[in-house]
Structure 1
């Protein structure tokens, strides 16, 4: 949603609601932060110092944005109007003015070397900015760079093929294995670590526009708890979503270490499996529902065009509609812009949407399996 806000295609005020308006009426809402977890004693310590005992615990904390891991940020956003980011409530409001005030030169869009939420967003805002600069007649004065920490544009080959065509058609330069580590606003330089260099050398880029996607992690209290693996994410079985050590703990969404893309589509789908498995454990049974890694990200490539990315743990396309979703389509753009927000507010938050599996089976006449005719990577590390 904030990608659209950053491109001037949606209103920031319509992108959120007060928690009191969406939390279930029967929920006992503790309006304070969880600061520590003791899974051996089944205790959560709150910011107030109060200790809450639990029988079962579901972790769904999401991610925190770590702009401060980049030297020169976040303070640089306050002094440099050419710096922006669609991932923060305040910084997203700088994005459209930064795009509109760009007169030419180097425009850089970044992707960090950590798992992030909605990894299609950095490309989406880039494509929309490119389109805006073309419309106002300055595109020939711009050098657009997508500096990504990944070795590929996308780990699902079917969609990567389309995105590479888009990048080539739009004359956008991709620099792989480049991780932003410093921003020098006084000289307008962005310093990148060369991840493919044995000595981890750095490379400097002059910028006239810089969109930053920050490194992300689980919130500090989660990352510092006994619940996480070596990467700092809650350590669960990727199929049952049950914690590998503590059977009364489950996790879903961005905070878990399941090796798939961190999207709302993934979280919604995981919710259905978690509900079944948690109920089974509460009734003295073993978890039985197996999540297949389904995730989805509609990637807007221009105003009015979008590809609908859907895939599983094996990075194989798992598409809902009976046509090629890797093709840029207006119908998928309208789905992204108008329909998916309604599904989120009126179905997902009410527990009425656990992904499109049923719709997919209907659309494919009872069949529900991934495409198998594309080469793929089996290790996406939650980045895509």
Structure 2
């Protein structure tokens, strides 16, 4: 049986057999719902036979048939009625589990959007590293908490691994999991996108206009990669020698470029802070240079590092060690040099560079360029009542509690704390 928990009270599976029912009961399920119409395919066991077997073992059973691709309001109402009356946890099944999942989501959406409807103990916005680790930690301390996680993506990425993909160490698939694999089993996973916050009413607004109510909010929706902030970048990226380890589908291109590069000019850029993982732009350079050194072609490559900052790294203690590699690989450092435009077809990058009190534009030819896009708070965060002047969620740095709303906390890349935006900062 391929049972997929959606939260601590509800799970779905593909078609079950009579022989599966004792194992379902042994796993602690108290009720079964069949969402397949009888005779949907030849040899399909009748729902009534499954119901009799379930009830002999003390399980509640309901047959709520729904046609694939044509789920009705009546189906959702029948599902809601069964769930309201059944003991938990409940297992629902259909041919693949998809209809059962959709019916449960329809019921949950109605409950959450209704005036005076369900109020979760904790609502977490974002199913990334911050969100899922927080949910897991809270449930470990108190398994009875009612926690909802708002996350629209069906895929979870281990983004630090993309640096290793670009270096030829990992395959990109190694960094990808389904969100269901990493989502704690006892949370209510709301598969929708947040579009706003109403903290005075203790509500999160979803993109479809519905609302999710909370007693405590933990907001960790991440950071936005602004590829359009640099003219020409969105069109150039992924071809003509323009690459970035900041994308799942782009990091393999970095690997290919580095592997095939035998000589010429290689540029590496870093925008103004904040960015995800302040070390990643330099890691791309050092790992590339290491491979070129091993291949015996480094002496034929001119390496430049352009950073919008005034120093090599924000933690001064690391700089001497980093400078050893800068010197070893012969990389030319350009401080206060900000990428402002790129022409991929012409292989020209334009930088704004500080020159004393003045700023001048400099065009640099390249054969390969690794670009890090500017990064900002998500749009719905920047326009919300929770935002600081920076656009990120305004928190007390010592507690990560919002400075104006005491039942709101923010974690991860979306909060205004001054530490680097990387999960390593949690250490």
Could you tell me the TM-score, scaled by structure 1's length? 0.67
Q: Please show how residues 178-197 of structure 1 align to structure 2 within 5 Å.
A: 178-195=337-354
CA spacing shift, 1:229–1:196, aligned 2, 3 Å: farther
2:392 counterpart of 1:233? yes
2:328 counterpart of 1:169? yes
Distance 1:225 1:195 in 2: 34
Distance 1:4 1:96 in 2: 9
Which of 231, 244, 248 aligns to 1:85? It is: 244
**SS at structure 1 position matched to 2:392:** coil
The question of whether the paired residues in 2 share the 8 Å contact of 1:149 and 1:195 is answered with no
2:206 counterpart of 1:35? no
What is the CA distance between 1:118 and its match in structure 2? 1.0
What is the CA distance between 1:259 and its match in structure 2? 0.9
The question of whether the paired residues in 2 share the 8 Å contact of 1:35 and 1:221 is answered with yes
What is the CA distance between 1:195 and its match in structure 2? 4.5
Distance 1:66 1:126 in 2: 22
Distance 1:197 1:41 in 2: 51
**SS at structure 1 position matched to 2:200:** coil
Aligned match of 1:275: none
Q: Please show how residues 25-174 of structure 1 align to structure 2 within 5 Å.
A: 25-80=185-240, 82-174=241-333
Distance 1:193 1:39 in 2: 40
The question of whether the paired residues in 2 share the 8 Å contact of 1:114 and 1:217 is answered with no
What is the CA distance between 1:91 and its match in structure 2? 1.1
Which of 139, 151, 171 aligns to 1:11? It is: 171
Distance 1:204 1:113 in 2: 19
Aligned match of 2:59: none
CA spacing shift, 1:195–1:239, aligned 2, 3 Å: farther
Aligned match of 1:370: none
The question of whether the paired residues in 2 share the 8 Å contact of 1:66 and 1:215 is answered with yes
Which of 392, 404, 407 aligns to 1:248? It is: 407
1:292-348 deviation digits (Å, cap 9, x = unpaired): xxxxxxxxxxxxxxxxxxxxxxxxxxxxxxxxxxxxxxxxxxxxxxxxxxxxxxxxx
What is the CA distance between 1:101 and its match in structure 2? 2.5
CA spacing shift, 1:256–1:209, aligned 2, 3 Å: same
Distance 1:225 1:193 in 2: 32
Distance 1:196 1:5 in 2: 36
Could you tell me the TM-score, scaled by structure 2's length? 0.61
Aligned match of 2:367: 208
Distance 1:196 1:44 in 2: 47
1:129-175 deviation digits (Å, cap 9, x = unpaired): 11111222221111101101111111222211111122112211110
What is the CA distance between 1:218 and its match in structure 2? 1.6
Gaps of 5+ in 2: 1-160
**SS at structure 2 position matched to 1:17:** strand
**SS at structure 1 position matched to 2:381:** helix
Gaps of 5+ in 1: 270-354, 356-384
Aligned match of 2:421: 262
Aligned match of 2:182: 22
Total equivalences in the alignment: 267
1:258-298 deviation digits (Å, cap 9, x = unpaired): 111111122xx3xxxxxxxxxxxxxxxxxxxxxxxxxxxxx
Q: Which has the higher contact order (CA 8 A, sep 6+)?
A: 1
CA spacing shift, 1:175–1:221, aligned 2, 3 Å: same
What is the CA distance between 1:216 and its match in structure 2? 0.8
What is the CA distance between 1:197 and its match in structure 2? 5.6
Aligned-residue CA RMSD (Å): 1.4
Q: Which of the two has higher C-alpha Rg?
A: 2
The question of whether the paired residues in 1 share the 8 Å contact of 2:220 and 2:410 is answered with yes
Q: Please show how residues 300-311 of structure 1 align to structure 2 within 5 Å.
A: none
The question of whether the paired residues in 1 share the 8 Å contact of 2:393 and 2:416 is answered with yes
> More displaced, 236-245 or 48-57?
48-57
Q: Which has the higher strand share?
A: 2
Distance 2:355 2:381 in 1: 31
CA spacing shift, 1:19–1:73, aligned 2, 3 Å: same
**SS at structure 2 position matched to 1:45:** strand
**SS at structure 2 position matched to 1:29:** strand
